[in-house]
Every structure is written in C-alpha cells, then in structure tokens.
Amino acid sequence: MLNYVCNVCGNTRQLAKATLEVVDGKVRTREALCECGAYMQEESKEFGGFPNIKRTEPTLSNRKDKLWGGVKDRLK
C-alpha cells in the first residue's frame, strides 16, 4: 500500500494502485489529488534491502564445469 499525506491540510490516503501523469512539468499520482486541490506526497519508507532470490532453474548448478564440458565435447 502507498501512503500519501497532504502538506496543506494534513489529510492522509492509502492507495493500492497509482497512475502517474505529468502535470505542469512534474510527475504526479493521479489518485493522490487531495480534497483541498493540492497533490499529496508519498510518505517515505525505510529501505529494507533487496530480497534474497534463489534461482532454481535446472540449467543452473553449483558445478560450473558442466557447461564448459559440453562445449569442449562439441568442439572436438
């Protein structure tokens, strides 16, 4: 969820989806337009780091020599 806060009146809003558009040369979120007429700003979040992704494709292996061995056999 995206949390938005209006700097003018202090209203808050939570959005699940956001549509970006260019308004007066600035990129704004269409749904973040406040009742007072000002655009809300997204609250900053702490960066939690990147998730750990483990690739499990069968072509990947811990032994790197499988790929090289197949190439050597084809070149002979």
pLDDT, mean over the chain: 81
In single-letter form, the type of residue at position 8 comes to: V
pLDDT band at 75, cuts 50/70/90? confident
If you average pLDDT over residues 12-31, what whole number do you get? 90
Please tell me the least confidently modeled range out of 6-10, 45-49, 57-61. Answer: 57-61
In Å, the largest CA–CA distance within the chain is: 75
| Phi, psi values for residue 47, rounded to 5° | -80, 120
Where exactly are the structural domains of the chain? Answer: 1-45
Residue 43 has a pLDDT of: 85
- Please report, for residues 8, 29, 37, the alpha-carbon distance to residue 19 in angstroms, rounded to integers and kept in the order given: 22, 6, 17
Tokens (6 digits) for 28: 């704004």
